[in-house]
Amino acid sequence: MALGGLRVLELAGLAPAPLCGMILSDFGAQVVRVDRLSRSAGAHQDVQARGKRSLALDLKRPQGAAALRRLCGRADVLIEPFRHGVMERLGLGPEVLLQENPRLIYARLTGFGQTGKYAKSAGHDINYLALSGVLSKLGRKNENPYAPVNLLADFAGGGVICALGVVIALFERARSGRGQVIDASMVEGVAYLSSFLWKSQKLLGLWSETRGESLLDSGAPFYETYRTSDGKFMAVGAIEPLFYKQFIKGLGLNSDELPAQMSVSDWPEMKKKFASIFAQKTQAEWCSIFDSTDACVIPVLSLDDAASHQHNKERSSFIKNDQGEMSPRPAPVLSRTPAVPSRKRDPFIGEHTEEILLEYGFTKQEIAKLHSDKAIEFKNLKANL
Ligand SMILES: C[C@H](CCC[C@@H](C)[C@H]1CC[C@H]2[C@@H]3[C@H](O)C[C@@H]4C[C@H](O)CC[C@]4(C)[C@H]3C[C@H](O)[C@]12C)C(=O)SCCNC(=O)CCNC(=O)[C@H](O)C(C)(C)COP(=O)(O)OP(=O)(O)OC[C@H]1O[C@@H](n2cnc3c(N)ncnc32)[C@H](O)[C@@H]1OP(=O)(O)O
């Protein structure tokens, strides 16, 4: 696989860093999740552990912190998900670790970044989205801004952008032989993803000042979801005139009898009209009308229905592990060296402590000493972070 042989240490954290580690693992990296010992507080389950192994290490004990320093000496990448200052307090800041291993890529995945007014503040996806400016654009007219699950800041602007940063730094390291520090702020990650929004605001005049009145933010009747007679929904994205024409035809309407597509003042009325038509047929009936057209109308599927939809099945877009759990397969698909995601169950905390330490050059005696010092754990408990 593309990242075969790459050694990654992922310090256990909430949602974004586990995704970053999982992406690297899916594409072949050997990812070790460094867990807190199972007796420690603040436990919650890691559901993005595909292909990872678990090493339970108490970083608050000097012997545990020293062990991580040694591990970093042989690793390619460290993913660190704590707010600024935590690693420095543990004596594990980038100056220390990069001095010991100048090839190390030290990825710091935080909400607010390593500097600035909020660098040491707690926060979650919705807060980062707010500070990026993007949240102000999300939501319907006359309603409060709305954060769509924690997909945008945590996963897109956080986990994915951080993984991209790691891959860029690895590419550069192949030339320079040197590692570096990645300051991956989710505020900036999600702001970066919104570059189109920034540019199109001025250059294309796409956005009204008010949320929910524009082409792509639920203002337009041809870029909207509509409820069907069986309580399901259809998603319409018929932007270009050619596709809009097919959409109107599928609804059984005549474009000559309708206002122009881009007549913004008519949009609210058009929406009502389309809504009343969609409400007359089931989702399946609308699919049979639109499926073989370019009207850009697709059923809104539940996760289960998405996994069993013909198109997704034809592409094997969702996979099953050996416990029978479904999940999305890694994307994108590389032609020669595609990801080969693990089918094994997620690791228990400390399940691989000994084998990992041996692999990284610790002797059996050193491991026994770490254990008697209570700096590591071997127990096979349910995977908690
Ligand atoms: C919206 C999302 C978050 C979604 C997460 C939810 C899915 C889960 C959150 C709560 C879970 C529930 C809860 O746990 C209760 C139940 C538990 C049960 O087991 C399961 C059901 C639960 C209901 C459970 C269900 C779900 O799992 C939850 C609902 C996000 O936005 S995620 C993005 C968050 N932001 C970031 O990641 C940015 C960077 N990080 C931070 O800003 C902070 O880490 C953060 C997130 C604000 C947390 O702050 P905190 O004070 O807790 O941590 P830090 O300041 O970073 O310091 C970490 C300290 O821990 C020490 N430490 C770390 N590793 C070790 C180790 N191996 N050994 C020893 N000690 C360790 C470290 O030294 C720090 O200690 P100090 O503070 O003393 O320096």
Q: Which of 58, 154, 183, 217 is catalytic?
A: 154
> What per-residue confidence (pLDDT) applies to 182?
98
Phi, psi of 70 (to 5 degrees): -65, -40
How far does the centroid of ligand 1 lie from the alpha carbon of residue 175, in Å?
A: 36
For the question of residue 124 being annotated catalytic, the response is yes
- Beta-carbon neighbour count of residue 282 at 10 Å? 13
- Whether residue 111 has its Cβ less than 6 Å from ligand 1: yes
Give me the pLDDT at residue 205, please: 64
Weakly modelled stretches of the chain, pLDDT under 70: 41-44, 202-205, 380-385
Going from the Cα of 343 to the center of ligand 1, the distance in angstroms, rounded, reads: 27
Report whether residue 297 contacts ligand 1, using a CB cutoff of 6 Å.
no
Nearest CA to ligand 1 atom 58: 82
Give the ipTM of the model, two decimals please.
0.95
As a whole number of angstroms, the distance between CA 253 and CA 301 comes to 26
**Residue 36, ligand 1, Cβ within 6 A:** yes
Q: What b/e sequence results for 195-207 when a residue is b if at least 16 CB atoms lie within 10 Å of its CB, and e otherwise?
A: eebeeeeeeeeeb
CA–CA distance from 100 to each of 29, 71, 250, 375 (Å)? 22, 11, 65, 21
Mutate to test the pocket of ligand 1, among 60, 82, 162 (most ligand atoms within 8 A of CB): 82
Three-state DSSP class for 371?
Answer: helix
Rounded Cα distance between 240 and 208, Å, is 20
Cα(361)–Cα(366) distance, rounded to whole angstroms?
A: 10
- CB of 86 closer than 6 angstroms to any ligand 1 atom: yes
pLDDT of 204 = 66
Question: Cα–Cα distance between 139 and 370 in angstroms, integer?
Answer: 52
What atom in ligand 1 is closest to the CA of residue 85? Answer: 79
* Amino acid identity for residue 34 in this structure: V
Ligand 1 contact via 90 beta carbon (within 6 Å): yes
- The predicted pLDDT at position 380 comes to 53
Going by alpha carbons, the residue nearest to atom 51 of ligand 1 is 122
Predicted TM-score of the model (pTM)? 0.95
DSSP string, 265-327: GGHHHHHHHHHHHHTTS-HHHHHHHHTTSSS-EEEE--HHHHHHSHHHHHTT-EEE-TT--EE
Residue 201 Cα to ligand 1 midpoint, Å, equals 36
Q: Is 154 a catalytic residue?
A: yes
